[in-house]
Amino acid sequence: MTINQLQDKIIEDFEGVDDWMDRYSMIIDLGNTLPPIDEKYKTPAHLIEGCQSRVWLNAELTPEGLVRYTADSDAIIVKGIIALLIEVLNDHAPSEIVDSDLYFIDRIGLAENLSPTRSNGLLAMVKQMKMYALAFKARQDAEKK
């Protein structure tokens, strides 16, 4: 599925749930399905700057040239949010991730229903995920030359 198809699926999943407590529950449940990050990545170098909670993020380039993210957080809501982002961006080409417009965040009302510090953390997570993709894209472009 494309990034936009995955976003549309998430929007559809959230459309039937009006109550934000239920939506938070969905996000927490998604966080509980997040595969554990390898302990070797739970280091200061993998912490996302700008998050109130601790969020560790790692990205690797697969042999097929796709970005694979792993993450964890010490906060259940934040873990669910990073799981949502991973669901959308995982296993896509770096250029697709860099060029993506993550419209699902606004469409499901996520940003407006987070505290200001959590909203800043969400932006920091997106920024870091795109920065990893940008670095991989630069490496791929250099290898083509």
Tokens at 140, concatenated: 């791929």
Interatomic CA distance for residues 98 and 69, integer angstroms: 14
Q: Please compute the mean of the pLDDT values over residues 25-31 and round it to a whole number.
A: 94
Interatomic CA distance for residues 73 and 128, integer angstroms: 15
Could you say which DSSP state residue 2 is in? -
Backbone φ/ψ region at 65: left (φ over 0), alpha (ψ -120 to 50), beta = left
- Residue 38 forms beta bridges with which residues? none
The catalytic site residues sit at 51
Query: Does the structure show a pLDDT above 80 at 133?
Result: yes
- The pLDDT of residue 13: 93
Label residue 71 by pLDDT band (50, 70, 90). Answer: very high
User: CB within 8 A of 65, min separation 6: which ones?
Assistant: 93, 94, 140
- The pLDDT of residue 111: 82
- The pLDDT of residue 112: 84
Tokens at 54, concatenated: 């601790």
Mean pLDDT lowest among 38-42, 46-50, 87-91, 115-119? 115-119
Interatomic CA distance for residues 102 and 10, integer angstroms: 11
* Model pLDDT for residues 73-129, shown as the tens digit of each residue: 999 999 999 999 999 999 999 999 999 999 999 999 988 888 888 888 899 999 999
